[in-house]
Amino acid sequence: MTHAPAGAVVPDATGDRTVVGANLSLPLFRSLSGVLAGHPYLKVVVDRAEKTWHLLDTRVHPFHVDYIATRVLGMTLDELDADLDAFNASVYMDPGRRFLLGVVSLHTEEEADGSERPFLVLETTEADTMPGPLLEEFYHYVRGRVDGRLPLLLKPANHGQEHELAAIGEARVPRVLSHELFGNRTRTCLNPGEAEGRLRYFRTTAEYESAAGELGWSDIVAMPRLPDDVPRTAGLVNTVPTTPLSHTNVLAAGWGIPNAIVRDLDALVRQDGLDGAWVRYRVREDAVTLERLPHAPALERPAWHQQRIRIETPLLEEAPILELHRLRCADRDSYGTKAANLGELHHVLDSRTADLTAFYARPRPPRPDLLGHLAARLGESGASPRRLRAAAAERVARTVRAPRGVALPFRLHHLFLTSSPALQQGIGKLKMALELDALDVIDPLSLHLQHLTCSTPMPEEVTRAITASVAALMADGRRLVVRSSSNAEDLPGFSAAGIYDSVTTVRGTDQLMDAVRQVWASLLSPRSVRLRHQVGIPLDDTYMGVIVQEYVPAGLGGVLVTCDPTRPEDFRNVYLNCTPGSPEQVVDGTVLPQQYLYNTVEGGGRTVGIGSSGQDLPAATRASLAELALVGRLLQSHFSEDDPDGALDIEWLMTAEGAFHLVQVRPYAR
């Protein structure tokens, strides 16, 4: 490493260009920095005991703690790994810590004359609990050693730091929030990947609809808001902001295709003539690129053309209508995965016997497990594994509720279909068209069957069974929600997110019967038929169960997934989206939700985006969402028992009283 003062940086014998004690100029920054999320960045360490700072060579020192331990304190990596969590606590959480760790990143903003002005942003790591006075000290130390011509802003790394800075005036510590800095990012990764294909750019929905029938597996579809019925293609491009939890991005993740927000696509298309051209599309966390190819590549048909998804044979015998709390996961063959998972959720909450610690018990080298972190999150430091299991079950049962409701088995759908010769005849024609790959008639036949399903009278015995089972839920004209629960969704390699219907405004018997028929009919929509056919799911084996739930009025609703969708290797964070009202608005793309990341290992959360609302949620609500994120992580241990790292997708509601209701639990396709 090089010691101050620094002119031209000369690497030491190991090739390390780290500088100690020098003032930071823009040329020095550029010589040492790496790139993260598209921005140059530099790791810095302030040594309060020695009254100096270290500007780390990013290529040599990817981790602050490794550098401090080995280069400053003289430890070996084995010694560090043996007590890593305690060492991390000493540098990230100890109020009297010797070292202040941070990152300085370089950004630009456009001036009135169109020129760009560079500025620097200082932040700590996301788990750092640095209090206000220490944040101020850190900022002023760095400010005093950075080229005075470069503006420097402090970015709080988490909600706790935002709270600490609230008592410190912006004149003393100029700052920028994460969503302010990145909310207008030109290009954003949604689902990482790479593809070669023909770019098809549609500026309006009408343009897309007129060409949708021509789209194929080698196309890359770009438009402001991709419709939920977009066919399976080589890649997707959004030209306006959306969320990684939208139905279209969940499909992209399940299909394994790249998807990103590219807000400057108009300029790229004009500059490089990309519309209709063959391109190489790369989506990474730190960069999104579209590169025109000189000629059409020799593409092979994608592997999914030979994909065959295995589906269990549905059980159609005398399965009764059951209240949700009586179902377990094993009942999916008669009621569908969604209904079975809600029944399992009831069991977890009521019995409090499930082991919800498996995710934290998994080895995370060099750590043997994360149980100490879980104990800290539960306020049970030093607790035995048995006590931790009990505390986890208690926390989940205290935080969330499962909706009351009933599950209609596949048997009722089968009785309905066999009651109508017209439906049987239409299904026979559709099966023949699918066997012959007669793509030109599949959509018309499917639409005809959908309309026929919705207009066919319900058999009397089916009507009596349904009305008797929901009498208590319908008392006093209460509102109901009717949801799909098929056996052809939430399968390995086939999520089917958003392709089946739910009806959320049901009152009375007539509306209930119409809603049940609508949900059944969605199994025959052209899109669902095509998607299942592409992966070899036979029409004969496909049935729809139905969930009838009580309606829960909610001030806030949303979706969380127990991972960071754009960083699959990140085992710490839970990603949560929400909007006022129902979760459907998060996934259908009608509004841009508020977006948060919550660290369920070291603790803390941060705001990723404030969405269409234009403002962040109150601190108390964000703290409640942190509890919900932890509950999601704990439930992952149970519902992903075969793979504790298998992420969950959870839809939730928050009532005016602050109670959380989980209305759907399913595997998250990524």
- pLDDT of 451-469, one tens digit each? 999 999 999 999 999 999 9
568-577 residue pLDDT tens? 788 999 999 9
Q: Domain range spanning residue 98?
A: 2-176
Average pLDDT over the chain reads 92
Contact in structure between 268 and 290 (CB atoms under 8 Å): yes
Which whole number is the average pLDDT over 172-182? 91
Q: List Cβ neighbours of 417 (8 Å cut-off, separation of 6 or more).
A: 423, 424, 427
Task: Clarify whether residues 564 and 520 are in a common domain.
Answer: no
Which helix H or strand E contains 421, and what residues bound it? helix 421-435
Residue labelled with tokens 């009942």: 331
Are 457 and 590 contained in the same domain? no
CA 630/CA 375 separation, integer angstroms: 12
- Looking at the DSSP bridge assignments, the partners of residue 20 are 3, 54
Dist CA 17 CA 19 (whole Å) = 6
The CATH code of the domain that includes 448 is 3.30.1490.20
Number of domains in the chain: 4
pLDDT band for position 184 (50/70/90)? confident
Q: Give the side-chain half-sphere CA count within 13 A for 479.
A: 7
Q: Would you say 151 and 111 are in contact if contact means Cβ atoms under 8 Å apart?
A: no
| Chain centroid to CA 252 | 12
Rounded to the nearest 10 degrees, how much is the dihedral formed by the CA atoms of 326, 329, 334, 335?
70
* Contacts for 216 with CB less than 8 Å, ≥ 6 apart: 231, 233
* Predicted confidence band of residue 589 (pLDDT cuts 50, 70, 90): low
Give kind and range of the element (H or E) at residue 526.
helix 526-534
Per-residue model confidence as pLDDT tens digits over 357-411? 999 999 999 999 999 999 999 999 999 999 999 999 999 999 999 999 999 999 9
What integer pLDDT is reported at residue 6 of this predicted model? 45
Q: Is the pLDDT of residue 141 over 90?
A: yes
379 belongs to a structural domain? no
Are residues 510 and 496 located together in one domain of the fold? yes
Q: Flag whether 512 is in a domain.
A: yes
Domain CATH for 640: 3.30.470.20
Cis peptide before 5 (omega within 30 of 0): yes
| 402 to 132, 262, 344, 524, 587: CA distances (angstroms) | 40, 39, 10, 29, 21
Residue 412 and residue 544 in one domain: yes
Q: Please identify, among 303, 332, 352, the residue that sits at the C-terminal boundary of a domain.
A: 303
**Cα dihedral: 327, 669, 373, 660 (round 10):** -50
593 with 475, same domain: the answer is no
Is 146 within a domain? Answer: yes
Which of 395, 353, 352, 399 lies closest to 377 in space, CA to CA?
A: 395
Same domain, 527 and 591: no
Please report the DSSP string for 277-294 in residue order: SEEEEEE-SS-EEEEE-S
Q: What is the CA radius of gyration of the chain?
A: 28
Residue that finishes a domain, picked among 265, 288, 303: 303
Q: Does the structure show a pLDDT above 60 at 104? A: yes
* Residue 244 belongs to domain with CATH number: 3.50.30.10
| Average pLDDT estimate for 588-601 | 88
- For residue 39, the tally of other CB atoms under 10 A from its CB is 18
- pLDDT category, 1, cuts 50, 70, 90? low
- Contact predicate 583/661, CB 8 Å: no
Confidence of residue 65 (pLDDT cuts 50, 70, 90): very high
163 and 17 within one domain: yes
529 and 615 within one domain: no
Q: Do residue 532 and residue 563 come from a single domain? A: no
Lowest mean pLDDT among 67-71, 122-126, 310-314: 310-314
Residue 607 lies in a domain: yes
| Ordered alpha helix ranges (H), 203-244 | 205-211
Residue 114: inside a domain, yes or no? yes
Model confidence band, residue 591 (pLDDT cutoffs 50, 70, 90): confident
Q: Report in angstroms the alpha-carbon separations of 310 from 313, 326, 528, 532, 669.
A: 10, 27, 16, 11, 16
Taking residues 198-202, report their average pLDDT.
97
Q: How far apart are CA 411 and CA 317, in angstroms?
A: 6
The Cα–Cα gap between 401 and 585 comes to 21
Q: Buried (b) or exposed (e) across 557-589, using 16+ Cβ within 10 A?
A: bbbbbbbbbbeeeebbbbbbbbbebbbbbbbeb
If you average pLDDT over residues 6-32, what whole number do you get? 84
pLDDT for 8: 55
- Domain limit, last residue, from 176, 205, 236: 176
Terminal alpha carbon distance of the chain = 42
Q: Residue 181 has what pLDDT?
A: 85
Is the preceding omega at residue 580 within 30 degrees of 0, hence cis?
no
Same-domain status, 130 and 268: no
Q: Is residue 485 domain-shared with residue 536, that is, in the same domain?
A: yes
| Residue 491 maps to a domain | yes
Looking at the structure, do residues 492 and 585 belong to the same domain, yes or no?
Answer: no
Given the DSSP bridges, would you call strands 259-262 and 235-238 parallel, antiparallel or unpaired?
A: parallel
Which residue is associated with the tokens 């009580």? 550
Residue 530 lies in a domain: yes
Instruction: Evaluate whether residue 401 is within a structural domain.
Output: no
